[in-house]
Amino acid sequence: MSCQQHHNETVFAQIGNQKQESLKAISTPIYLSTSYRHNEIGHGHGYDYTRTGNPTRDVLEEAMAKLESGDKAFATTSGMSAIQLVFSLFASGDHIITCRDVYGGSYRYFEMLEQKQGFQFTYWSGSDERELAEQIKPETKAIFIETPTNPLMTNIDMTAVSRVAKAHNLLFIVDNTVYTPYLQKPIADGADIVIHSATKYLAGHNDVLAGVVVSKGEKLSKELDYIHNSIGSTLSPFDCWLLMRGMKTLPLRMRQHEDNASQVKTYLESQPLVKNVLYPGKGGMLSFLLKDETRVVPFLQALSLFTFAESLGGVESLITYPATQTHAEIPEDVRKSYGLTNELLRLSVGIEHADDLIEDLKQGFAAVE
């Protein structure tokens, strides 16, 4: 039976295990060499220089392409370098439509592209297919979305976006960081390119900075391959190995993240100091709004198990204040206009025992009552 026919859990656990490495190592070796010996001109062994190709990175990229149902994957030095790789496909004057609720780092990069390179960006609500189609103009080249969005946790209908993209010959790009290929496969729903901040759930232990791009189609994959090698944003062999080691347990971790998040959601919905809970229906991420902005700081200070920190997707539970952390680059009036207000807190629910997490939240609320 081929790996494509196996369940997700099996494919994740078996990453690198069936490679025909000369010593038959179960754990993929880390090839640190930057250069490779040639016996004579024109007779190499498939590798020349590690930026262009590395055996350890190849195992990771092949696994990610398979998991995302793509043709080619590219491991990069961070989630933002993955986005940069994709946007290197475009040129000055090109127009891209993106979702309004977008990661603050992406917004910052898009602003830079507008100011310094002449790109055009339009921000879409993420819910109205007709509105999306109406925003297309002759210079439009792509639609870029996160789903679920960050931090408002809104699911965007990828099939609807794909219809619009295909009808107008646009690239459809999806950031799949929050759900991962364990929970959703955007290419199966019509995406051309999938992006990950692999730092998050894929690595899963808050100890690796990495990104991944997965593409569908030979022409697009060749173009990204050329750019990836040219700009040199390739992930180091050791970080590739660490990322693969984390990915082997992603299904186990994600099930625990999701079970815990569901229980935390139920508790928060019963908490009188909480105005609203935003949960996309699966996964380990949720956000909630306090009824009183003045309680944010003392609440954060009262927590002991949830760590007040940026990032998400690790085994440890984190709480983030988007207004001053992940989304600080977005002007206050802009983010407030679409619901990212100063009362909002974001939880990355880890794999600890759910009862302990809920008790920590309880004592946090008790401290500010």
**H/E segment holding residue 319:** strand 318-320
Place of tokens 């491991």: 75
pLDDT value of residue 43: 65
pLDDT value of residue 1: 36
d(CA 146, CA 131): 17
- The residue annotated as part of the active site, out of 72, 94, 100, 103, is 103
d(CA 271, CA 290): 10
> What tokens does 257 get?
């993240």
> What tokens does 141 get?
């080249």
The model's pLDDT over 312-357, given as tens digits with 9 standing for 90+, comes to 999 999 999 999 999 999 999 999 999 999 999 999 999 999 999 9
Q: Across the chain, what does the average pLDDT equal?
A: 95
117-142: average pLDDT: 97
51 is catalytic: yes
- The residue annotated as part of the active site, out of 58, 94, 175, 239, is 175
pLDDT value of residue 230: 97
- The residue annotated as part of the active site, out of 19, 36, 47, 51, is 51
Fold of 3-247: Aspartate Aminotransferase; domain 2 (3.40.640)
Beta bridge partners of 72: 215
103 is catalytic: yes
pLDDT value of residue 26: 87
Q: Which of 25-34, 96-105, 176-185, 193-202 has the lowest mean pLDDT?
A: 25-34
Residue 22: pLDDT band with limits 50, 70, 90: confident
Give the angle 317-323-324 at the CA atoms, nearest 5°.
80
Domain ranges in the chain are 3-247, 250-368
pLDDT value of residue 3: 42
d(CA 160, CA 190): 9
- As assigned by CATH, the class of the 250-368 domain is alpha beta
Q: b or e along 162-181 (b: 16 or more beta carbons within 10 Å of the residue's beta carbon)?
A: bbbbeeeebbbbbbbbbbbb
pLDDT at 290 over 90: yes
- The residue annotated as part of the active site, out of 66, 141, 200, 216, is 200
Backbone φ, ψ for residue 288 (5° rounding): -150, 155
Q: Using the 8-state DSSP alphabet, how is residue 353 labeled?
A: -
200 is catalytic: yes
> What tokens does 15 get?
């990453």
Q: b or e along 71-83 (b: 16 or more beta carbons within 10 Å of the residue's beta carbon)?
A: ebbbbbbbbbbbb
pLDDT value of residue 173: 98
Among candidate residues 246, 174, 243, 248, the one with its CA nearest the CA of residue 210? 243
299-324: average pLDDT: 97
pLDDT value of residue 2: 44
Q: Which of 27-41, 58-72, 297-311 has the lowest mean pLDDT?
A: 27-41
pLDDT value of residue 44: 65
Contact at 8 Å (CB) between 67 and 202? no
